[in-house]
Amino acid sequence: MGTLPETRLVPLTIPVGVPPATKLGGDPEWIQLEWKPECCGERMTFLGQIDSLDILEAHLPDSAIVYVFFCSKCFETESQLQCC
């Protein structure tokens, strides 16, 4: 059995005035209405967002962002796609 390649998570920093982009953690950069998914009776934790312009291979609509949340109790995830 081979070994998996080493991977690291590197936080992205978004300069002030630059449109939302792909990132992990922090706060969502909404392009439409704020969305607050709940699970197990509590608000889910924001995991990250994926900007369609950053990951062209994802075949997302133009100017779209996918927001991903997870529940720290049951580990369910929820996602929402917003377009501007």
Question: Where do contacts with Zn ion occur on this chain (CB under 5 A)?
Answer: 39-40, 71, 73-74, 76
Taking the complex as a whole, the smallest distance from the CB of residue 38 to Zn ion amounts, in Å, to 9
Given the complex with Zn ion, which of 25 and 43 has the nearer CB atom? 43
Cα distances (Å, whole numbers) of residue 79 to 30, 38, 61 = 13, 12, 15
Measured CA to CA, the distance from residue 82 to residue 43 in angstroms comes to 19
Given the complex with Zn ion, which of 10 and 74 has the nearer CB atom? 74
Give how far the C-alpha of residue 26 lies from the chain's centroid of Cα atoms, to the nearest Å: 10
Given the complex with Zn ion, which of 12 and 38 has the nearer CB atom? 38
